[in-house]
Amino acid sequence: MKEIPNHIGLALGSGAARGMAHIGVLKALQEKGIKPDFIAGTSMGAVVGAFYAKDGSIEDIESVVLGLNWAKLAGLIDPGFYFLREGLINGSRIIDTIHAVLGDVTFEELKVPFVCVATNFETGTERVFSKGKVIDAIRASISTPGLFAPVKIEGDYYIDGGVVNPLPISVVRKYFKGHVVAIDVSRDFQKVYRRKKENSPQERKGSFQHPYLKKINTKLDEFVQENKAFLNPILESAEKIKNNIEEMRKRITDRPPTAISVILKTMVLMEYQISQASLRDADIVIKPDVDDIDLLEFHRAEEAIDAGVKSIEAFRAS
């Protein structure tokens, strides 16, 4: 059985909603009495890392993300006419939500040493934030191109740190002398594609053949046969509606990707390639199984957190 050392520096990677798996990783480590001595985060990794670093606990951010649903997520989106020029979302409501918990805490006041990564849009270089207000650095680190408006700090515009360093292993190496543990939540599109091919509609149909469900289906078939005269008009109408919906779905599916989806997917593909190239510099790599969680599926927090917990268990059992 493998064990994670007691003195570690954590690199928490970007991944938007998949980054909620970092909460599960920290939760599992906390339960085993392992407390990181240093944390570097990019994008969602920066958000989770900052929450933990504030007081060495994961409870605050866990309660925030577990409370998210589609209605609350919609309330956090603040689009405006500037989106064609800057980004789809201004980001102020999301930052307000983070600020409500973090406040104006500075890097110097954090209980656990923490830094986060953003990209200087003017120079195209990495900037590691380690001083000043944490909330300002997070706003820079999460500014996904095309999605969030860039943020101006000290005269320069900043965008998502994932553009240059989505998994900040090198940053942990620079600031911390000890074992480096990388938490990789980048999306492996080849793996996702294989899963989709394996779970074809025919196979999905067969996957529901539980004995109890078979019994229900048999009873339903008997009911339909016994009441055919009455049900036929209803079933015919339902079939027409189903066909119309299927035709609409096909038209939507066959449309080419939108400009914003191309930008976001390109970003995710790029982050994956950069992350994989950096893994060799980590002492330990933890890879939560969150490939099936899309960029903005924050309502799947419980699933992502559980994947983080299981990734630590899987590592120890390997």
Give the active site residues.
43, 160
Cα separation, 155 vs 159, in Å, equals 14
Q: How many CB atoms lie within 10 A of CB 302?
A: 13
Contact, 144 vs 69, CB < 8 A? no
Helices (H), 150-258: 169-175, 189-198, 201-206, 211-226, 228-253
Q: Tell me the pairing of strands 179-183 and 8-12.
A: parallel
Judge whether 174 and 279 are in contact, CB under 8 Å. Answer: no
148 secondary structure, DSSP code: B
Residues for the chain: how many in total? 318
State the CB neighbour count (10 A cutoff) for residue 23: 27
Query: For residue 282, what are its two tokens?
Result: 């980590």
d(CA 173, CA 91): 31
Angle between helices 44-55 and 134-141 (to 10 degrees): 160
Nearest alpha-carbon partner for 185 in 10, 5, 22, 8: 22
The tokens for 227 are: 């009441």
